[in-house]
Structure 1
Amino acid sequence: MTPAEIKSVAARRAFATGLSPAEREAEAARIEAELTAEAKAAEQAKAAAAIAAEAQAERQRIAGVIKTGADAGKAMQAARLAISTPLDATGARAVLATLPPDASATAEALAIPEAIGTFGTQAAVNERRRVASILGHPEAADRFATASALALETDLTLAQAVSALLAAPKAEARKYPTFEQRQREAGSFGPSFDNGGGMSKGERIDSMWAKAVKDANASIGAAGLAGGAMADLTRG
């Protein structure tokens, strides 16, 4: 109800009590305050529910992208993609198809970017930041599956998730491939990180992701990711 409607309802209820004019005035004020508090609480609950729904939707999007990557042995690169771009599982599948498996990727390609994508509602951005803080924490490095479950199946804070991660066993340390192995498996995946043609590490990462997204856009007939999302994707 609007403030005017609340005042009208309060006056009607007070008038029906059979009190004296002074008492009715006091009763109307009491009822008005009570109704105002109820209306405010209802609005706050509605807003909180909307925020929770937006956060849950973003969590589900990220989970879908990571699952798509996990099915192809590219869960960690999928996580980077989900945190950096607004792609859903279908769009991410096209990009991931151009990337090597996580086991053949460099540490830079697997890193969760510190600068997350800023697309979506504020609730979605906040949720994405929470998920990224958990997946990108050093304790998640050898516990990615556990970290993903904590980040995407609960609403734990970073501190709570890290405490849970410390209690979980570490997986076998990832073995980085040799230069020759990466050459064989990389295909058209941009420049090698061991032979960058004079480019800096950051430039090589940018080139790698830019080529992956370009190839994916070509394969799905897309005009390309938005400039902001592309910048977020290539920024580690």
Structure 2
Amino acid sequence: MKERAEQMYWVHTRGVIVALPPDATASIGKAHANGEELNHIVQRRLSIINNDGILKKRYPSAKDGVKYMNSVDMEWREILYGKANSICTQIVEQAKAIGKEDFAILLFGSVAKGLVRKQDHADPSNIDLAVIGQFTYEEREELLDRIRPIRIKAVEEIRNNVGVFVQTPDKLRHSDYGAAFMYIGSSARALYDPKGVWSSLQEEALSYQRRCKENKQNRGSKNNIPQWMEPKKHFTVFKREEAVVR
């Protein structure tokens, strides 16, 4: 068994409680232990989650989010999280079988955020995974063909979809790192990243965000940086949950 610590973060304006990735949790825990403020990288990540478009669309008001939290099932979430790890292991095997080594696998969406609906819900939560690496079109198609039986079996087990996206790093850099910020806003965490593919991309995206903010300040304009990139001064990270992944 592998122990996983996650910090729970209250998104005030949406009324939901989001599970933060383990690396963000570690940074927050370190800052708390040392009596320090959150560093600028963690602040930016929390800001992106605060302004995540999917959260805004699904929970227009805090009341909507509070109501939704009544349907959240953390026990079922742990089962789906474990299933995601199992699928990840099998994807790694298939990717290596076609000669790929430098790639990362991310878990994002409701399972990553800890906003999993109950198993018997009319619309139960699914599993969302992204494979990030330098895949050609042919390699991408071969990998998807190889993992299709794995996905079909998992779909039967959880009674909902298992989505697997295969993307290149340049795809995440496109449109001002739009896809990378989407993953960050979704509280994405790397289930597999031995070569630092995702961690490097995430750092790139957050550095880009900081440059945008600095350019805005230098030009004295209010319109040079999207609102969702603006870090906030205050965040509520109020509870740590210890979870076990089998």
TM-score grouping bracket, smaller chain normalisation: under 0.3
Larger strand proportion of the pair: 2
What TM-score do the two structures reach when normalised by structure 2?
0.24
Question: Higher relative contact order at CA 8 Å, sep ≥6: structure 1 or structure 2?
Answer: 2
